[in-house]
Structure 1
Amino acid sequence: MNKQLEVHQPVLTEEQMEQINLTLIEALQTNKKVYLTHYKRGRCITETGFIQFVDSLGNLFIFIDEVFELKNKMRLSELIDVRFT
């Protein structure tokens, strides 16, 4: 049954990827809280927290979730959306 709930990872346009990048950089510089939606194992997951580190060339970033205050290392390619709260 879980397989039926799985979705394919959305394909983002160049414009959407650029907007995500700009939002990540602003969130990092201002320490603003963000809603972060990412793709993981067939699901789109939204979390709230803070961006701690962004490495565009290495295709990764570090996100500290608001609930457990845990550091999560993720690939930029897994991101679907980033918005300010």
Structure 2
Amino acid sequence: MDKYDYVFKWLKNATKPERHIDEMEAFAKKHPIIFMKFHKESSKIVNNDVNDEKYIKAKEELTKLFNENEEYFRPVFDAVKSKFNY
């Protein structure tokens, strides 16, 4: 299992309101440029099948973004783990 699989499961399975958690809203305000990159790629996770090339490419891009900005994403990651049992 990949390091961020729980985040991809959450993005894929959560309803729109469930994706708009307070921690993500705070992240977007604090780090708007990183959030825009995240949002662009995460929509491909939400809208495509896990075997689709767009999904796979987006997962690669998001993994890179998460690795480069892990400390900024930490509150979001922790919230996803605690709120959605991933």
- Same fold, judged at TM 0.5 (above): no
Mark the structure with the bigger radius of gyration. 1
User: Normalization by structure 1: what TM-score?
Assistant: 0.30
If each structure's helix is expressed as a fraction of its own residues, which one has the higher value? 2
Instruction: State the structure with bigger RCO (CA 8 A, min sep 6), 1 or 2.
Output: 2
User: Normalization by structure 2: what TM-score?
Assistant: 0.29
